[in-house]
Amino acid sequence: MSTTEQTFIAVKPDGVQRGLVGKIISRFEDRGFKLAAIKLITPGKAHLEKHYADLKDKPFFPGLVEYMNSGPICAMVWEGLDAVKTGRVLLGATNPLASAPGTIRGDFSLAVGRNVCHGSDSVESAKKEIALWFQEGEVVSWESAQAKWIYE
Ligand code: DAT
Ligand code: MG
């Protein structure tokens, strides 16, 4: 089993404005995931349209891009065992009304269009998203002192 799977996690503009960056980081740290990259960024409309290209035909697409473009985003790469799938479990369901309490969306949000965070939905899209949001060298390879206490 690989402990080096990576996922792209972002705190959306509402999460940044609401001061949830630290709390969201803590959920991933507390679970045992390792931070591999982080930056605060306002990447602009074209970049956000590319990020959500799969959804371009949805009626909510223009509003989604406008919302994502409304303030800084905290972009991160988190690494660890089953990071993509388990990362999405930490986020909760897309619609916060269906997100379980204890998840980020289930604890901090109500509306699908203000659901505070993003997480990659597959290993393949994680690779694409990390390449879109981070330059070579911004994703750091390092060994956590905790690893031997987290993994068997
Ligand atoms: P997720 O963010 O859980 O991967 P997604 O990729 O299907 O969900 O959609 C991306 C974002 O688009 C989602 O976080 C919030 C918004 N969105 C999804 N469905 C929506 C809807 N029916 N109405 C408004 N916004 C929606
Ligand atoms: Mg998605």
**Cα 119–Cα 65–Cα 10 angle in degrees, nearest 5:** 25
Q: Among residues of the chain, what percentage have pLDDT more than 70?
A: 99
pLDDT for residue 78: 99
Rounded Cα gap, residues 115 and 77, in angstroms: 19
60 lines ligand 1 (CB under 6 A): yes
- For residue 93, the model assigns a pLDDT of 98
The set of long-range contacts for 105-110, using a CB threshold of 8 Å and a minimum separation of 24, is 108/15, 108/18, 108/20, 108/23, 109/14
Q: CB under 8 Å to 55, separation ≥6 — which residues?
A: 61, 64
Task: Give the helix, strand, coil percentages of the chain, each rounded to 5.
Answer: 45, 15, 40
47 is catalytic: no
Residue 61's pLDDT band, with cuts at 50, 70 and 90, is: very high
User: Span 69-86, mean pLDDT?
Assistant: 98
The predicted structure's pLDDT at residue 2 = 75
- Per the CB < 8 A criterion, the answer to whether 91 and 105 are in contact is yes
112 Cβ below 6 A of ligand 1: yes
pLDDT value of residue 1 = 55
Q: Mark 118-138 as b/e (b = at least 16 C-beta within 10 Å).
A: bbbbeeeebeebbeebbeeee
Q: What is the pLDDT of residues 104-136, one digit of tens each?
A: 999 999 999 999 999 999 999 999 999 999 999
Q: How far, in Å, is the centroid of ligand 2 from the Cα of 145?
A: 32
CA distance 3 to 26: 19
Write down the mean pLDDT value for the chain: 97
Over residues 31-54, mean pLDDT: 98
Query: Which residue is listed with tokens 């388990």?
Result: 86
3-state secondary structure of 40: strand
Cβ density class 79-111: b for 16+ within 10 Å, e for less = bbbebbebbbebbbbeebeebeeebbbbbbbee
Query: pTM of this prediction?
Result: 0.98
Q: What's the rounded mean pLDDT across residues 21-44?
A: 98
Nearest alpha carbon, ligand 1 atom 5: 94
**Which band of pLDDT confidence, cut at 50, 70 and 90, is reported for residue 96?**
very high
